[in-house]
Copies of this chain bind each other. A is one copy, B any other.
Amino acid sequence: MKNIRFCEAELAEGFWKKRYELNRDVSLACVRDRFEESGRMDALRFKYKTGDSLHFFYDSDVAKWIEAVAYLIEAGNDMHEYEEVIDALIDSMEKHRRSDGYLNSYFQQIEPENVFRDRDKHELYCAGHLMEAAIAYDRATGKGKFLRIVCDYADLIDRVFRQEKTAGFTTSGHPEIELALYKLYAYTGEKRYLLLSEYFVFERHKNVQPCRDFANNKYDQCEMSVYDLALAEGHAVRAVYLYTAMAQLAFERKDAALLEALKRLFADMKKKMYVTGGIGSASVGESFTIDYDLPNLTAYSESCAAIGLAFLCLEMQKFGLNDEYGDIIEKILYNAGLSPVSLDGKKFFYENPLEVRLKEIAKQTSVVSGSQPKLPIPERVELFWCSCCPPNLNRFYARLGDFIFGEEKDGLVVHQYIASACRGLQMETEYALDGKVRLCAAEYNFPYLYVRIPRWAKDFHVSGSAASSDFEKIGGYARIPVAKTFDVVLDFGIRPRFIYADPRVCDDVGRCALAYGPIVYAAESADNGNELNSLLVNTDLTPRAVLNEKYGLYDFCADGEREEIFKDELYSETRPKRSECTIRFIPYFAFANRGKTDMLVWIRHN
């Protein structure tokens, strides 16, 4: 199966086009402005003066932002203002890079003596992001300069690391260059980039010492050969970036053993994934922990981990029809990958908790100044000290179209239901509102159309053109026979539903999450008053949909009860009294857009 790139998938009016445009028109500018203010842009202009802020990951931040702009240019958006900024940055890179091709604003300006000597300072990671940005920019603009810069740099890395082995370490501390080198190989056709990617992936577990404070090599994904991996452990972003390179190589090499490792990892990740699609539950080590350990209040669920997982799933889709990956992408698109951006597009979450209790956060600072258990912040901010997530979100939304369509030999494949058009196939849908999708074409050149059946759709119907209901299910997709001209309507029978977690998830026992189609819901104190944990939703009654104009989706009003607080004693032999109430739910991704307020996804039920 082939993925169809975003430039062939034109978004049409609807929920997602609005998000796409918000990213293009608002978020991208906000990130640029913050990056200018914080010195990130100036770092690559090589303007560093003693006392300036210049962190070793700044190059990657800027590269991701460039990559996002490039995708928008390629898709035909007018980005000339940013293009000028980028061209000047590229000129600066060309001018200031070392004569051997080396390019890193941090090492060149701060620690030139330690070039290729410190595995823990994201040097190859930054190189990888520069490569991804350069490929995207080259494809979008045809201006060859940036690509030549990163190819020269890649050639240097190849010589120092793979051929001469004279670097102070063997492989990257934070995976990224592996997947970028594969892309560079795919884009340029230069085999040595494939070899270097393979080298970095397959040598990863050799000659390593645990990174800084870490007890073992799980944190930076060097514990064992990638072929032996079975458990998703350690730093979640490092994990999914490495797995992405593994998936690229498994596909390229037709490497069944590597694919098996990936399948084991997905089976394990499924026991470590929030209902929102978020992964990496612990702030300590920004890491996966153990099966079923999914705390809500301290959920880390980093935005970059969700994005990385979505990109990984995109690679996994190439191995053939398997709705597992589209299902995860959908979860991320509507939940863990959407919650990171405020509704106005200006602010971002790094962590995406499934519960907020402001009192808990207040508690954290009332007594001591240090060593507090880490709780996520309750409101999005414009910039983080470690601001990897905002530009990652920029490029994620800029290539939203990548997630929609694929191509089998006998038909197009619809992975995600986003109003758009691709190669004459029109998709009209308000998927998250009515769960229906209209697909039509006037000149279709395949016998079949493949559509993913969402796992939440228990009642799936196809209507429209003749024979369309005579579909076959393959790997979670419906293979619908279609004529040259067709017009079919998919109805996934959307309805609010309550989701329960395996009782091994201690934080979710006795609780449920409300979902509607792809969207997970949350209750906020802004609607429901304080003490959200005293609420019980009645799952026997159907919540009532209320259109919310702000985001064009439904909120829900559910029947429930509220336990009354005790009058006097802390403990009683009498259960808390209950009174009936209505509980209002909003889409999870929209939480924390009305000031600081408590929030809860997993709510107690009757």
Contacts and interface: CB of A to CB of B under 8 A. Distances in A.
Interface in A251-303: 270-271, 273, 275, 282, 284-285, 287, 289-290, 292-293, 298
Interface stretch (A127-135, A367-375, A379-387): A367-375
Interface stretch (A468-476, A505-513, A586-594): A505-513
A209 interface: no
A455 B219 CA distance: 52
A365 interface: yes
A88 interface: no
A203 B326 CA distance: 68
A33 to B, nearest CB: 33
Task: List the number of copies, as a whole number.
Answer: 2
A114 interface: no
Contacts of A510: 510, 604
Interface string A464-504: 00000000000000000000000000000000011111111
A591 to B, nearest CB: 18
Given A284-B372, A509-B533, A573 B500 contact: yes
A213 interface: yes
A531 B292 CA distance: 11
Instruction: Say what secondary structure dominates the interface of chain A.
Output: loop
A365 B215 contact: yes
A534 interface: yes
Contacts of A49: none
Contacts of A271: 570
A214 B367 contact: yes
A369 B576 CA distance: 42
Contacts of A368: 213-215, 219, 284-285, 287
Interface in A553-581: 563-566, 569-576
A19 interface: no
A362 interface: yes
Interface string A356-399: 01011011011111111100000000000000000000000000
Interface residues of A, number: 65
B571 A290 contact: no
Contacts of A435: none
B500 A534 contact: no
A233 interface: yes
A270 B359 CA distance: 18
A563 B284 contact: no
Contacts of A214: 367-369
Contact of A273 (B503, B531, B566, B570): B570
Contacts of A401: none
A216 B273 CA distance: 39
Given A213-B369, A369-B214, A534 B284 contact: no
Interface of A: 213-216, 218-219, 233-234, 270-271, 273, 275, 282, 284-285, 287, 289-290, 292-293, 298, 357, 359-360, 362-363, 365-373, 458, 497-506, 509-510, 513, 531, 533-534, 563-566, 569-576, 604
Given A271-B570, A500-B574, 5 more contacts: A270-B570, A287-B368, A290-B359, A499-B572, A502-B570
